[in-house]
Amino acid sequence: MIAPPLANQAPLVGIRILEVGVMLAGPYATMLLADLGAEVIKIEPPEGEISRQLGDTYFASLNRNKQSVSIDLKSERGRRRLGELVAKSDALLVNMKPSTIRRLGLTYEALRVFNDRIVCVAMTGFGLDGGDDPAFDYVIQAATGVAAMTGDPMGPPTLPGYTAADNSTGLAAALGLLAQIVSGRGGQVDLSLRDVVFSQLNYRAAAFLNGGVEPKRYPMGAHSYYVPAQLFATSSGYLALFITHDAFWAAFAAEAGIEGFPTMAERAARRDEVLELVSNALATDTAIGWEERLRPLGIPAAAVRTLGEALTANPEVVITAGEFEQVGTPIRIVGYEPGYRPAPRLDEHADDLDECVRPPREAQ
């Protein structure tokens, strides 16, 4: 029988993770783990991690709850310092080119001499053995088919308004790191942006692989299977309506004064007719008005909001870490309320780490 956790005890307390992170994907992964109580030590070059140059809010949004120590990993002294930290840690996560990861000695094979239980997570564009081709978020979205299936069919391919590939790979990296720690074994975890994005194209990829079906782009971001499931213009603003079940359609049709098309098969076969009726009905009220009418009926619908409007409407997702407001962790665990410390100053915790000698978690 598993004993219940102590009130507000962080689930990852006692786990120490080293991060050699750059920009977004790696730092996002470790920040999620830090929010859950892991001790994350951010190893930065003497000039600081490059995202510090993008502004205080950018760096703060990805590096809260961490410690910072400056180490020149290209120097012999820096490599010795890294070895000392590895000996006292549970995992190391890095997101760089494969050649850089190997040159700096940030793989399990290079670090097991210091701690054979260390978990090493490498985040790259195409895998540790996939070469050094440039692999930034937008490049990966173009290369994997995401851009080609996004946007209006009469317009150019389109990229999402945020770094979907980087963020998704960060989530996958955090999962892979924890899975290997739970296994009780050290080892190498190898994640690539390419593989993560292909994985998230699941049913799209399966349709092509098993039937040669290429995704189509429809106006207003319409779904290829469900009808109606897309954006619609209203008398003021746009509404996202997502009718996936016949029961949803019945409730919506009754509220909108539409008759017929009771089954998904019929609605899909007569897409244009259905969309014309729905468009005419939704034009009689505002997006907010429809949202307020449809949500009590259990119908998936939301007015399109700007980011500012969305954050204002959902204040519970906003936290304060130091002097900056930002979005808190999406992982809610009953009985645990995370604290939020600000992102560290460069090399802020060098002295603290020198004084704190901690054995690996499994040896405690």
Mind listing the domains of the chain with CATH numbers?
A: 16-200+317-363 (3.40.50.10540), 219-233+238-303 (3.30.1540.10)
Q: Please provide the DSSP assignment of 75-133 as one string.
A: SHHHHHHHHHHHHT-SEEEEES-HHHHHHTT-SHHHHTTT-TT-EEEEEESS-TTS---
| H or E segment to which residue 66 belongs | strand 66-70
Q: What is the pLDDT of residue 352?
A: 83
Instruction: Assess whether pLDDT exceeds 80 at residue 233.
Output: yes
Please say whether the beta carbons of 326 and 48 come within 8 A.
no
Instruction: Assess whether pLDDT exceeds 80 at residue 361.
Output: no
Which residues, in sequence order, are CB contacts of 296 under 8 Å at separation 6+? none
Mean pLDDT of 66-88: 97
Confidence band for 168, pLDDT divided at 50, 70 and 90: very high
User: Is the pTM for the entire model greater than 0.75?
Assistant: yes
Mean pLDDT of 111-122: 98
Cα-only R_g, the chain: 24
Q: What is the pLDDT of residue 355?
A: 55
Q: What is the pLDDT of residue 353?
A: 74
Q: Which tens digits make up the pLDDT trace of 11-36?
A: 999 999 999 999 999 999 999 999 99
Q: What is the pLDDT of residue 235?
A: 98
Position with higher pLDDT, 225 vs 99: 99
Q: What is the pLDDT of residue 8?
A: 76
Q: How far, rounded to the nearest angstrom, does the alpha carbon of residue 332 sit from its chain's CA centroid?
A: 15
Angle at 132 between CA 131 and CA 136, to 5 degrees: 120
CA distances from 77 to 80, 99, 120 (A): 5, 21, 21
Q: d(Cα 95, Cα 141) in Å, to the nearest integer?
A: 18
User: Checking DSSP bridges between strand 91-95 and strand 66-70, what pairing results, if any?
Assistant: unpaired
Q: What is the pLDDT of residue 2?
A: 42
Instruction: Assess whether pLDDT exceeds 50 at residue 331.
Output: yes
- Looking at every residue in the chain, the average pLDDT score rounds to 94
Q: What is the pLDDT of residue 358?
A: 54
Measured on CA atoms in the order 290, 292, 295, 301, is the torsion positive or negative? positive
Mean pLDDT of 335-344: 96
Position with higher pLDDT, 130 vs 7: 130
Q: By percentage, how much of the chain surpasses pLDDT 90? A: 92
Instruction: Assess whether pLDDT exceeds 60 at residue 356.
Output: no
Q: What is the pLDDT of residue 134?
A: 87
